Amino acid sequence: METRSSHTYFHGLDGLRGFAAMMVVFGHIEGFKEKAHFLPELSLNTLSVVRALAPQGVNIFFTLSGFLITYLLLAEKQRTADIAIRQFYLRRVFRIWPLFFLAVFLSFFVFPHVFDVHFFHVKTTPDFMQKFLLSLFLFPNIVFVGYGHIFFHGILWSIGSEEQFYLVWPHVMRSARTTLRTLLLLLAGCISVQYLFSTLRLRTGNPVYYVLENIVVFSPMIVGAIGAVICFEKKLPLNTSKRAFALICALIVVLYRVNLPLGVLDRTIYSLLYLALILNLIEKKSVLINFDSRLMRYLGKISYGIYIFHSLPIALAIVVAGQFNASSFGLNIFIYAVSVALTILLAHLSFKYFESGFLRLKEKYGYKAEQERRFHGVPATNP
């Protein structure tokens, strides 16, 4: 772990974020092919490991997010004896909102008119205004669970869940006196609430409980937060090793393969394993994949764009491939090559020409504002 100016940097975590983004891409290539009934003879979506790629890539994102955000809040609280809530929100706004609202705009006002993908049967209409307003006020997860997967919009559900988590998390960390105990209680409460909604859904058949059950998906982020506390306060000796890393990876793949019905504990169990990977990576003990390589770090750097934009290249590749008269194998290679290459290109352009400007604002009004306030002796509090 290194400290760079006001930032805390962990080895390997950018690469893990990039790896998770590519898990989502590869998982959705097969998922979109299945939606389009395209090349069923070459479908890999019958394999439980492949079906797990996209949802578990998101689960890794959630666990990473909880770990990093909580560690930074703990470090700030140690430095200043407080947490600057307004600066925290500004940093999140400048990092998340620009690309999120661009995706909302494109999914509601552009793609339905210029590229209405035929194999996505859920559209922005009917109930256009209800779907749009829910998205505008950072509840795309309700749209996703309540209506289904709208093209280019469905993936925003996880952004909504993270933003709802971010809304309350700095207040939790600011007020918690015994942080680890508080987080363990919150994790137990989150799992209990999910179990309650799941039970009510099964007993009553009311779809409202299904929506509520799938909104309360904060357990991976809380698991990541617990890991951050353990790491920050050195609660446990982290005797990581190459063998431990390999064993954890093998266990994850086995669980993907056997696809056990874990119910409401599914996200929590997997996130505990991802947390173990995170703790191994920051100790630089991994040898299976060099998550700190230049390529992996860059994929992590542009991972937000990869996640937001990947639906377009995949759908475009499938539609174009449908116009060709070629072997199934050749068409499959075409879909994968175009999807991956175009996704990375769009994410690169987005980061360089769109996101980077907002990231400079994040620095100016987030970290630097916090530093100047401390320099002038102003308490780091929310006015």
For the chain, domain boundaries = 2-375
Cα 128 from Cα 108, distance rounded (Å) = 8
pLDDT 10s digits, 290-324:
888 899 999 999 999 999 999 999 999 999 999 98
Average pLDDT over the chain reads: 89
Task: Taking residues 370-378, report their average pLDDT.
Answer: 49
pLDDT 10s digits, 37-51:
998 888 898 899 999
pLDDT 10s digits, 89-120:
999 999 999 999 999 999 999 999 999 999 99
pLDDT computed for residue 362 by the predictor: 83
User: What radius of gyration, in Å, describes the C-alpha atoms of the chain?
Assistant: 21
Structure-token pair, residue 274: 């991802």
Pairing relationship of beta strands 7-9 and 2-4 according to DSSP bridges: antiparallel
Structure-token pair, residue 248: 């954890």
Distances (CA, A) of 221 to 29, 55, 226: 26, 14, 9
